[in-house]
Structure 1
Amino acid sequence: MSTSNKDYVSFQHVKKTYDGTNLVVKDFNLDIAPGEFVTMLGPSGSGKTTCLMMLAGFETATGGEIYIDGVPVNNLAPHKRDIGMVFQNYALFPHMTIAENLAFPLKVRKLSSDIVQSKVKNVLDMVELGHVANRYPKQLSGGQQQRVALARALVFEPKLVLMDEPLGALDKQLREQMQMEIKHLHEKLGITILYVTHDQDEALTMSDRIAVFNQGEVQQLASPTELYEAPSNTFVAQFIGENNQLSGSVQNIASSHCVVQVGKERIYATPVRVNEVGKPTTLSIRPEKIQIQPELNQCDNHVSGILRELIYHGDHYRLVVEVETVGRLVVKLPNDSRTQLELAPGTLCRVGWNLQDCHALDGIPASNEEVAA
């Protein structure tokens, strides 16, 4: 079975087991277009790195087929796949200078000395490290070493680059800076990138599409905006950003909305995946979608509760409102909002939200077509 001409990388029904019984990757399907930046996101042990290593050739698929540019590669040696790799620990040769580290993959490919020198210079200039060519890795900062590792993956001009938690060892500020540098290099070079991380903010910042993993399966594959605004199940909703989850039962289902009984409250929601009337469902509401003290005509849903916490976070306030029989709702307000100045912990307040911002999830399981949509 071949892959479509439009896909540069294709995983087709790929499985992986180490003990012959337990699948760490279960029927994995993913098509990546040329020049696309796709991130595999999930908690530790979810199978994302295993998929990356099968594509690189460092792990062997138990079942299914992997294609690169239309060619099956399950039985192709790693060095013949022409893939650039970037790891979290940099994997630089400590006894070689930076220039020698970058020249190594070119010399392996038996390029002439002039071409090697030219390519090394060009890639060092691209990552703005021309001045460190003669230094050794231990003489560089963590951020500089990561730039060198990225340069080494790009120096032989591969069409595909794999990155496995490449920024995990960096501090927050440097990590965010490197995210934008990688994103800009991707846009400039037009290479295909498959990226692995457990950091949701990193995935949202950099990716064209994100595959969310859990227990060896893709829970949802979509753009960052769609994952955040329209999660397909409670795992995705909870893993991608903070959200409020309310358990209830379906009372009514219409084409554009459903009614869910949560404690004593009847909540109007958008049906994402709900079963028949009377069955359980989980509502997902982002904290920033909830309003404090809204006018009655501003929101489809209104509940009242006691304000338990009001915490200043710089760019926003975080409020916790306890609603009887419903539970605690987290609310985020921008710090230019004046409403919170009228409230104090222990006071009664009203919160509200609209049905399009409230998703009814997990009533029925997702099909493979829905996951890949």
Structure 2
Amino acid sequence: MTMHKEYVSFQHVQKTYDGENLVVKDFNLDIKPGEFVTMLGPSGSGKTTCLMMLAGFETATGGEIYIDGTPVNNLAPHKRDIGMVFQNYALFPHMTIAENLAFPLKVRKLPSEEVSRKVDAALKMVELEHVANRYPKQLSGGQQQRVALARALVFEPKLVLMDEPLGALDKQLREQMQLEIKHLHEKLGITILYVTHDQDEALTMSDRIAVFNHGAVQQLASPTDLYESPSNAFVAQFIGENNQLFGTVEALDSNHCLVQVGPQQLSAKTVSVSDVGEPTLLSIRPEKISITPELDECDNQVTGILKELIYHGDHHRLVVSVSGVGDLVVKVTNGHRHSQAFKLGGVFAIGWNRQDCHALDCPKESFEQEEVA
């Protein structure tokens, strides 16, 4: 097979069910061979629809989808050579595990010896050789999901699509399966397009993440870039915990700006504001805020009252109320020099650097609601 620079390509893809409302709006995404890309977003944001159009279960209303350079809009699903894993496992209950794995191989009319060899190899890959003769109902949810994964990989597809595959599992098993899928991806070098609404899952597993909202990609970047450098307010709020401060831009250059937040004038990194006088939303991660910093340690310093203190084992989660600004969440490691001295009602300084404080877009209605509040 000739490998193209992009193995999967969505070009100006649209989808509407009623001819008026676009569920997917001008979607563009290129996925390289062997890449693990996650489409992340809330329910109804269009991510699963994009996956189903790639699989061939939905038809694109506009635009073109390519797999390895071949347009597939009019290609039947079974001719796309794609492995699929769903949340509900979709195993045949009347077949043994070995028979479930053999099914896609028999459909492709492989010789029986090759079928047996591939089934054995797939079971070994997910460490389930001992359940070959059992039926799905005799397995735990985690085992069934591993069988579903093995079935998607047994015919050695170049591309595997996964739609919320771990959604039915408990937290501990879900985290274990995340690592198993990640390791299988690294070992096999297959291309994976993964759909989830779980941000931790996306951050853990992906090479790149496409964040969806209202049928459009808000940002496409590596997990680190998404978390550290969100391009807009939606991404900042959807990925990880985030402090939001509403203010007005007082001064501005290409890199930094001064923002008036209540009685405080704060310095921030310019991301998506364009003019003085504009409303903006400042985004600061809780772990970027320092407790009782030295005067020269932070570009921004305010004084607040400790309103809430929660112990999380490896860190404390503080809620600090700053007059005229609002409540700020601060995460402090357990070994911090002041961690033993936190007292509810205590007054102390907190601070952060302007590079860690992003000035983002602020919908006008949000700013007005904040002012009314």
Which residue number corresponds to residue 140 of structure 2? 141
State the match for 1:369 in structure 2.
none
Which range is displaced more, 341-350 or 16-25? 341-350
Q: Report if the CA contact (8 A) 2:233-2:362 is conserved.
A: no
Aligned to 1:120: 119
Partner Cα distance (2:254, 2:274) in 1: 13
CA contact (8 A) 2:219 2:231 kept: yes
* Aligned residue runs from structure 1 range 162-173, under 5 A: 162-173=161-172
Quote the offset at 1:315 in angstroms: 1.4
- Whether the 8 Å CA contact 1:245–1:285 is kept in 2: the answer is yes
Q: State the partner residue of 2:174.
A: 175
- How many Å apart are 1:338 and its aligned residue? 3.2
Q: CA deviation at 1:255?
A: 3.6
Using the alignment, how far apart are the partners of 2:304 and 2:183 within structure 1?
46
1:210 aligned partner: 209
CA distance in 2, matches of 1:205, 1:169: 18
User: Is the 1:275–1:363 contact (alpha carbons within 8 Å) kept by the matching residues of 2?
Assistant: no
DSSP-derived class of the 1:344 partner:
coil
Aligned equivalents of 1:255, 1:162: Cα separation in 2: 41
Deviation at 1:63, TM superposition (A): 0.6
Tell me, in whole angstroms, the C-alpha distance in 2 between the residues paired with 1:351 and 1:302.
Answer: 6
Encode CA deviations 1:255-295: one digit per residue, 9 max, x unaligned. 43211111111111111111111111110000000011111
- Trace 1:14-163 onto structure 2 (pairs within 5 A): 14-163=13-162
Cα RMSD after superposing both structures: 1.1
**Is the 1:291–1:353 contact (alpha carbons within 8 Å) kept by the matching residues of 2?**
yes
The answer as to 2:16 corresponding to 1:5 is: no
* Helix, strand or coil at the partner of 1:193: strand
Structure-2 separation of matches of 1:127 and 1:73: 31
Could you tell me how far 1:363 is from its partner in structure 2? 6.1
Separation in 2 of the partners of 1:144 and 1:241? Answer: 30
| C-alpha distance in 2 between matches for 1:129 and 1:344 | 52
The 2-side partners of 1:136 and 1:154 are apart by 19
How far apart, in 1, do the equivalents of 2:58 and 2:39 lie? 17
Matched-pair contact (CA < 8 Å) for 1:248–1:260: yes
What is the deviation of 1:345?
A: 1.0
Give, as a single letter, the amino acid of the residue that structure 2 aligns with 1:328.
Answer: D
| Bigger shift: residues 339-348 or 258-267 | 339-348
Question: Displaced runs of 4+ in structure 1, greater than 2 A?
Answer: none
Q: Which amino acid aligns with 2:342?
A: L
The alpha-carbon deviation at position 5 of structure 1 amounts to 2.9
Q: Tell me the equivalent position of 1:326.
A: 325
Gaps in structure 2 of 5+ consecutive residues: 364-373
1:322 alignment partner, SS class: strand
Q: What is the Cα deviation at residue 341 of structure 1?
A: 2.1
CA apart distance, 1:340:
3.1
Does structure 2 retain, via aligned residues, the 8 Å contact 1:320–1:331? yes
**Alpha-carbon distance between aligned partners in 2 of 1:149 and 1:122, rounded to the nearest angstrom:** 14
- C-alpha separation in 1, matches of 2:6 and 2:217: 19
Rounded Cα–Cα distance in structure 1 between residues aligned with 2:60 and 2:229? 32
Identity over aligned pairs, percent: 80
One-letter identity of the residue aligned with 2:346: T
Other structure's SS at 1:45 match: coil
Q: How does 1:187-336 map to 2 (within 5 A)?
A: 187-336=186-335
Count of residue pairs the alignment pairs up: 361
Judge which range, 336-345 or 74-83, deviates more: 336-345
Residue 7 of structure 1 aligns with an amino acid whose one-letter code is: E
- Per the alignment, in what secondary structure is the counterpart of residue 228 of structure 1? helix
The answer as to whether partners of 2:40 and 2:211 remain within 8 angstroms in 1 is yes
Q: Which amino acid aligns with 1:167?
A: L
Amino acid at match of 2:36: F
Letter in 1 for 2:291: I
Return the alpha-carbon distance in structure 1 between the equivalents of residues 149 and 135 of structure 2: 16
Q: 1: CA distance between counterparts of 2:256 and 2:52?
A: 43
Report how far residue 362 of structure 1 moved: 1.0
Question: Secondary structure, in 3 states, of the residue corresponding to 1:297?
Answer: coil
1:197 alignment partner AA = T
Q: Could you tell me how far 1:169 is from its partner in structure 2?
A: 0.5
Q: Distance in 2 between matches of 1:180 and 1:250?
A: 43
How far apart, in 1, do the equivalents of 2:254 and 2:122 lie? 55
Q: After alignment, is 310-319 or 29-38 more displaced?
A: 310-319
Q: Deviations over 1:158-211 (max 9, x none)?
A: 000000000001111110000000000000000000000000000000000000
Q: Which 5+ residue runs of structure 1 have no aligned equivalent?
A: 365-373
Partner of 1:370: none
Distance 1:301 1:122 in 2: 58
* 1:314 counterpart SS class: coil
Q: Give me the TM-score of the superposition, normalised by structure 1.
A: 0.95
Name the SS for the 2:145 alignment partner: helix
Q: CA deviation at 1:126?
A: 0.8
Aligned partners of 2:246 and 2:279 also within 8 Å: yes
